[in-house]
Amino acid sequence: DAGVIQSPRHEVTEMGQEVTLRCKPISGHDYLFWYRQTMMRGLELLIYFNNNVPIDDSGMPEDRFSAKMPNASFSTLKIQPSEPRDSAVYFCASSLGISGRVVTQYFGPGTRLLVL
């Protein structure tokens, strides 16, 4: 398996523009997570899905952020409109739940976002 795939790897945009980050989880995994990493706050969970259904989006910073998972092999994280403070590395991770509990998460390489 190729692992978790994220695109783009790098994104530079101007304030106010829409940004869409994409993730393909490992085939067969039923959990998908979106994280954001900054120097100040470290790694924070934004939202996670189980079987394509959003379970906990309490980490989504504000209404400008939205995430979807239309099928088991694809998810998007959208920021509209983007702001300079959204600059961070965004990670997607997937996992297989065993007996209803998540075990090891496998992380993608991340998307490095810079909003000017």
- Residue 69 CB neighbour total at 10 angstroms: 21
> Using the rule CB under 8 A, is 33 a contact of other proteins?
yes
Binding residues for other proteins, how many (CB under 8 A)? 26
CB of 7 to other proteins, least distance (A): 14
| CA-to-CA dists, residue 38 to 11, 24, 88, 94, 114, angstroms | 15, 22, 5, 20, 12
Stretch that binds other proteins, among 15-23, 47-55, 71-79, 80-88 (CB under 8 A): 47-55
Left if phi > 0, otherwise alpha if psi is -120 to 50, otherwise beta: which for 53? beta
Q: Which residues bind other proteins (CB under 8 A)?
A: 4, 31, 33, 42-45, 48, 50, 55-56, 91, 93, 97, 100-110, 112
